[in-house]
């Protein structure tokens, strides 16, 4: 199928791209890997008149900032993140989350920034609106909502399916947004609004410059799981990510970050479950209680024919497993079992 006609520009630096975005306003689209944008342009979910390409800009290799944080350029391909020795050594969960995205061909093309800014998904939104679904939905600028016909408040109940964002939030990472005049830095969890119409706080004249991951606290461990039907080339039904740290005694939990993704308009942290775990011994009972508390406090939307009950049960089981894994890694030392496929 042939795409509609558009213009294409290829500035030489991030600042030039941001300046062009400021001039063009909302009619511009940012093209990096194109694995999310181009299929969405075919479905007319997004119809930018001009594509501003990042193809002429080379990604900086992963490196360490002066403050000890790992800095990954947003233009880094996902295949480079999963295979980078630097990333695998410093934060295996990050490499793991890049490893489970899409297929090899998608990871060779897709970039980190593109994955974090991907369009939200919905069974109805991600279809051509010219045959079964003639009227545009709220997200497409229309006046209806197919999954929720009684939705009259102009909200978009769709799901943000990045596999990497939950891992980055669990690691406590920051994101750097580059604008024409200034750049700003914020925690990745503040980058997501949890609103379907505007899933991120990215302005029309900004783009993601880099992601910074802090060094892990002592005695910490991680757990990550992406639930799918087939196990490959698939969007997630549930993503769970956790990073825990044990205290100096090695017996009580000193820090916990639990994130559930791909079940609502943005990744959500289970702060109640986290604070219940901190200070307690990570017994199987405490882990089970934390998993069910996390599922109870996060927002779940039914999506892609999965019911809320099914998604909640799936998230609870895998949260329990990844929390035990994380505490196991925290006890045996960092990086253990980090590269299992």
106 binds another protein (CB under 8 A): yes
Contact indicator for 178, 52 with CB cutoff of 8 Å: no
Closest CB 3 distance from another protein, rounded Å: 4
Q: Is 231 exposed, middle or buried (0-12, 13-18, 19+ CB in 10 A)?
A: exposed
232 is an interface residue for another protein by CB under 8 A: yes
Collapsing DSSP states into helix, strand and coil, what is residue 254? strand
Does residue 117 belong to the site contacting another protein (CB under 8 A)? no
Q: Which stretch binds another protein (CB under 8 A): 15-23, 51-59, 271-279, 295-303?
A: 51-59
* Strand pairing category for 7-9 and 50-53: parallel
Q: Does 229 engage in binding with another protein (CB under 8 A)?
A: no
Choices 100-108, 136-144, 185-193, 207-215 (CB under 8 A): range interacting with another protein: 100-108
The full length of the chain comes to 341
Question: Least distance from C-beta 247 to another protein, angstroms?
Answer: 36
In this chain, which stretch among 105-113, 273-281, 285-293, 305-313 interacts with another protein, using CB under 8 A? 105-113
Q: How far apart (Å, rounded) are the C-alpha atoms in residues 6 and 333?
A: 52
**81 lines the binding site for another protein (CB under 8 A):** no
Considering the complex, what minimum distance in angstroms separates the CB of residue 4 from another protein? 7
Judged by CB under 8 A, the residue of 15, 86, 108, 127 near another protein is 108
Among 20, 42, 46, 331, binds another protein (CB under 8 A): 42
Interface with another protein, residue 339, by CB under 8 A: no
The string of DSSP codes covering 11-30 is -SSHHHHHHHHHHHGGGEEE
Tokens for 247, please give them: 């205290």
Strands of the chain, DSSP E? 7-9, 28-31, 50-53, 63-64, 70-73, 174-178, 183-187, 207-213, 220-227, 238-246, 253-261, 268-269
Contacting another protein (CB under 8 A), which of 233, 281, 296, 308? 233
8 Å CB contact between 81 and 61: no
Say if strands 174-178 and 183-187 run parallel, antiparallel, or are unpaired: antiparallel
51 in contact with another protein (CB under 8 A)? yes
The verdict on 288 binding another protein (CB under 8 A) reads no
Which of 105, 198, 275, 283 touches another protein by CB under 8 A? 105
- Judging by DSSP bridges, how do beta strands 174-178 and 220-227 pair with one another? unpaired
Stretch that binds another protein, among 28-36, 57-65, 190-198, 263-271 (CB under 8 A): 28-36
Figure out which of the listed residues 92, 102, 114, 166 binds another protein, where binding follows CB under 8 A: 102
The pair of three-digit structure tokens given for residue 141, joined into one six-digit string? 């600028």
Q: Which is nearer to another protein, 9 or 297 (CB)?
A: 9
User: Are 318 and 240 in contact, with CB atoms under 8 Å apart?
Assistant: yes
Residues that bind another protein (CB under 8 A): 1-8, 31, 34-35, 38-39, 42, 51, 53, 55, 79, 102-106, 108-109, 232-233, 341
């Amino acid at each position: 199928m042939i795409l509609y006609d558009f213009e294409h520009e290829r500035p030489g630096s991030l600042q030039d791209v941001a300046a062009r975005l400021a001039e063009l306003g909302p009619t511009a689209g940012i093209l990096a890997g194109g694995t999310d944008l181009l299929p969405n342009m075919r479905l007319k979910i997004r119809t930018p008149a001009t594509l501003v390409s990042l193809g002429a800009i080379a990604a900086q290799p992963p490196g360490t900032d002066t403050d000890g944080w790992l800095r990954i350029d947003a233009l880094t391909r996902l295949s480079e993140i999963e295979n980078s020795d630097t990333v695998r050594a410093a934060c295996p969960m990050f490499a793991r989350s890049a490893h489970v995205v899409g297929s090899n061909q998608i990871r060779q093309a897709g970039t980190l920034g593109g994955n974090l800014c991907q369009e939200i998904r919905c069974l109805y939104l991600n279809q051509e609106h010219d045959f079964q679904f003639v009227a545009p939905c709220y997200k497409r600028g229309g006046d209806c909502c197919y999954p929720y016909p009684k939705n009259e408040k102009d909200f978009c109940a769709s799901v943000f399916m990045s596999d990497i964002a939950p891992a980055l939030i669990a690691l406590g990472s920051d994101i750097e947004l580059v604008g024409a005049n200034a750049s700003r830095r914020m925690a990745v969890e503040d980058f997501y609004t949890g609103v379907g119409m505007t899933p991120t706080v990215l302005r029309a004249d900004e783009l993601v410059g880099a992601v910074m991951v802090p060094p892990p606290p002592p005695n910490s461990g991680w757990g990550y799981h992406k639930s799918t039907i087939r196990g490959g080339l698939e969007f997630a039904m549930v993503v769970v990510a956790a990073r825990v740290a044990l205290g100096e005694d090695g017996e009580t939990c000193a820090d916990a970050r639990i994130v559930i993704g791909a079940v609502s308009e943005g990744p959500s942290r289970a702060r109640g479950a986290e604070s219940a775990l901190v200070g307690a011994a990570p017994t199987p009972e405490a882990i089970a209680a934390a998993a069910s508390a996390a599922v109870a406090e996060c927002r779940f939307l039914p999506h892609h024919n999965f019911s809320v009950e099914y998604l909640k049960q799936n998230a609870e089981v895998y949260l329990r497993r990844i929390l035990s894994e994380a505490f196991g890694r925290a006890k045996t030392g960092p990086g253990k079992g980090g590269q299992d496929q």
